[in-house]
Structure 1
């Protein structure tokens, strides 16, 4: 093979490699989106990141924050057809996609509409349209007839196609911003977070024959050695909102693992801060209990009790 042939082969390989790399956004990319989702049957609002849309629709804003959201493509943060439509696009692109009911909240299942005793429903919720929990299942009341209630246990949006209109605002590269976006996608709460590199002591097992410092005459049975290593840590401030969050309680291990894998960090540290109570009643009580006999004698003196007589009475009773 001549030198020209070798160069041509190398160029062809590079071109083929370039062709194999997909263009645009792909799985694993952190993307900031603004979007509004509506069910197509009645044009009812399902979800939005827009404060303006929320106000127009009269959505209760007390417990919700309406702002662009960070999602990770390929992690199921949006319905698959929406993610598929986003892949390959670029920052600044817009799109619209309709998610069929079967790929959204499922088709409506007639077997999930059941008649139950109205005694299982609180009195103030015995009316059509009320959202109720019966035997651990969530549903809404369709009708109340005598002592019976017909309850639909399907998702409220089952059988509805969902239309998404979205705009790709930017690709998120900052790792701390990625962490906040990922946690928010799981828990929908904002938390204080920061990244630090810590020195941590770690025990490492040295197997037989791997100890380079061991004497040849000594029998190496394996042992543990302590070494100081650096670990990059994501710190999360534990607030009551976090510790009482059901999704966090049930899936914190999985959420932490996602953060470790997606951010390339070593560990997640959930940190709880407890402020001092100052010199309140409990502080005084604990001080009295641990302060020796002086405080007890002073208390007896204030109560006009003779300590020696009290001891004698206790001994007589014993």
Structure 2
């Protein structure tokens, strides 16, 4: 698959050591493994080949992948989330832990905790001490991916729309090219999103790196609200 290609991927991710399903984009697989979430929409993942958004082992495998082909392969820990690092397991006083969480009643062994801006897993809590594991939950695990590239986005307008959706979760942008210059008409509601002013700068960089566009204009349209007659 060519570097910079914008693709849709259906995949199932397993812990190869335990055969446990970790993540899937396919509803039927989630149901088969009794992890179906009715509040979630199961759709293919969108990514850019070679962008570094995925773990190293998956990025490398995509380089030789083709669309509409089923793949099954393992990724060793070193090319996934790394080996477990004992230095990332720390013991702190229970008082420090309790002062760092908003609601101590939510604490439980195996649950996430945030201490000093770092998120870890609470492993042990007793006798005034707490042990926190700051390793990634999948550190040390060999991963198995079953995947298929279901679509390669070729149309330029659709490429922009796909990048916008990938970064904002929205599909209600209007896209127009004039030569290499791009105008994106924004949905009115996005002006109320506090993250948008920061997200758009990252979007411009992603669009330019992926598509080689020139000037990028974000256009706001505020239509008058209709007044209902009594």
Q: Is TM-score (shorter-chain normalized) higher than 0.5?
A: yes
Map 1:53-68 onto structure 2 (within 5 A). Answer: 53-56=29-32, 57-62=34-39, 64-68=40-44
1:99 aligns with 75
Q: Tell me which residue corresponds to 2:109.
A: 128
Report how many residues are paired: 221
Structure holding more helix per residue: 1
How far did 1:75 drift? 0.8
User: Which residue is 2:170 aligned to?
Assistant: 190
Residue 217 of structure 1 corresponds to none
1:118 pairs with 2:94: yes
Between the aligned partners of 2:43 and 2:174, the Cα distance in structure 1 is 21
TM-score by length of 2: 0.80
In structure 2, C-alpha distance between the alignment counterparts of 1:242 and 1:43, rounded to whole Å: 44
In structure 2, distance between residues paired with 1:147 and 1:85: 47
Mark the structure with the bigger radius of gyration.
1
Alpha-carbon contact 2:161-2:175 (below 8 Å) kept: no
Unaligned runs of 5+ in 2: none
State the distance in 2 between where 1:41 and 1:100 align: 11
Aligned Cα root-mean-square deviation (Å):
3.0
Which of 168, 180, 189 aligns to 2:149? It is 168
**In the alignment, what sits opposite 2:27?**
51
Paired with 2:82 and 2:166, the residues of 1 have a C-alpha distance of 22
In the TM superposition, 1:276-295 aligns within 5 A as 276=225
Name which of 231, 253, 269 aligns with 2:218.
Answer: 269
Q: Unpaired segments of 5 or more residues in structure 1? A: 1-24, 199-228, 280-318
Distance in 1 between residues matched to 2:64 and 2:220, nearest whole Å = 39
In structure 2, what is the equivalent of residue 157 of structure 1? 138
RCO (CA 8 Å, sep 6+): is it higher in 1 or 2?
2
C-alpha distance after superposition, 1:17-44 (max 9, x if no partner): xxxxxxxx21122222211111222223
The secondary structure found in structure 2 opposite 1:133 is: strand
**Is the partner of 2:182 in helix, strand or coil?**
strand
Distance 1:239 1:42, change over 3 A: farther
1:66-81 to 2 correspondences below 5 Å: 66-81=42-57
Does residue 142 of structure 1 match 2:119? Answer: no
- Given that 2:27 and 2:42 are in contact with CA atoms closer than 8 Å, whether structure 1 keeps it comes out as yes
Q: Distance in 2 between matches of 1:232 and 1:273?
A: 20
> 1:240 Cα deviation (Å)?
5.6
